[in-house]
Amino acid sequence: MFLHVSRTYPYTVKQVSKIANVTVKTLHHYHKIGLLLPCEVNDAGYRLYGRKELERLQEILFYRELDFPLKKIKEILTGEHDRIRILKEQKRLLQARMERTADLIQTINESIRSAEKGEPMDQADMFKGFETEEEWRNAMREQTEYLKENYGHDLGEKPIVPEEMNEEARKAQQFITGMARALASGIKHTNSHVQHLIDSHVAGLKQRHHIETPRDFAAMTRFFLDDDFHRQMLENQQTGLAYYLCLAAEHFADKMN
C-alpha cells in the first residue's frame, strides 16, 4: 500500500491524496478529528505532510482495510509509537482474515463439485461429508493449489478434522441453498428473509471463530465476487448468486454498524 515515493518532502494534501489513493476530503477529516495532523500549515493555508505523516497514513489505511473504526485506530496509534510492532500486528490480522476466508470457502467444495458435474444432490447426500482427512484434501486440492499460487496461502498446512468439516459444510450448504432459492424466487437482497439468513450464518461463523464482525463476512463475499475462481463456484449453483450474496452481506453489515 503506497509509500513508494521519490520526490522531496513535504507533500501537499492533493499530492498525498494521489499517492495514497484517498480523497482530499478524507485527509481533511483525519486532520479535523486529530487522527492525522500535517507536519505544518504554511502561510497560504496549505497542509503539508512529511515522511512520518505518510507512514502514519499507511498504518491508518491498513487498519481501515481491517474495518477498524476511526476512533479505535486513533486509540491504537496514540502514545508510544512502534511502527514495526504495528505493521507486524496488521500483518497478523490480515493473515487471520485470509485464513477465515479460506475456511469459509472450503466448506462448500463438495456441493460445487456436484454442481459442476450437473448431478443434483439430495439432502441426505448433500450433508454426508467425507470420512477421512485424505478425502477432504482430495476434494480441496484444486482450490488449495489455486489459493497457494495466487495468494500465497496454503490450506494444506492446516489440520483437518473430518467430523468438524462435515458439519461446517452442512451448515454452509444450507445457507448457500437458501440464498440461491431466494435469488431464484426474485426476493430482493434487502428482504427480511434474506437478511435473517445472513444473520444466522454470521452468528454461526462468529461462534466458530471464523469471523469477528459482520463486516468480515461482507469482505469475504466481496472476495468471492471479485475473484474469478470463487465467483464461478457460486455462479455454478445459481446465476447471479455471487453478486446477490455480496449485496446482501454488505447491506447486513451496514445495518449493524
Q: Count H helices and E strands in the chain, helices first.
A: 13, 3
Mean pLDDT for the stretch of residues 207-216:
88
Written as nine digits, the cell of 193 is 428473509
- Give the pLDDT of residue 88: 87
245 contacts 222 by C-beta, under 8 angstroms: no
Confidence of residue 107 (pLDDT cuts 50, 70, 90): low
Report residue 2 CA to chain centroid gap.
Answer: 20
pLDDT digits (tens, 9 = 90+) for 50-89: 999 999 999 999 888 888 888 889 988 887 778 888 888 8
241 contacts 234 by C-beta, under 8 angstroms: yes
Q: Work out whether the CA dihedral 137, 143, 148, 152 comes out positive or negative.
A: negative
Give the rounded percent of residues in the chain with a pLDDT score beyond 70.
82
- Give the pLDDT of residue 115: 66
- Give the pLDDT of residue 8: 66
Alpha carbons within 13 A on the beta-carbon side of 238? 18
- Give the pLDDT of residue 170: 79
Q: pTM of whole model > 0.85? A: no
Confidence of residue 201 (pLDDT cuts 50, 70, 90): very high
Asked if the model's pLDDT at residue 251 lies above 90, the reply is yes
Asked if the model's pLDDT at residue 127 lies above 60, the reply is no
Run of H or E including 52: helix 51-65
Run of H or E including 100: helix 83-106
Distance CA 22, CA 19 (A): 8
pLDDT digits (tens, 9 = 90+) for 148-192: 887 777 766 677 777 777 788 778 888 998 999 999 999 999 999
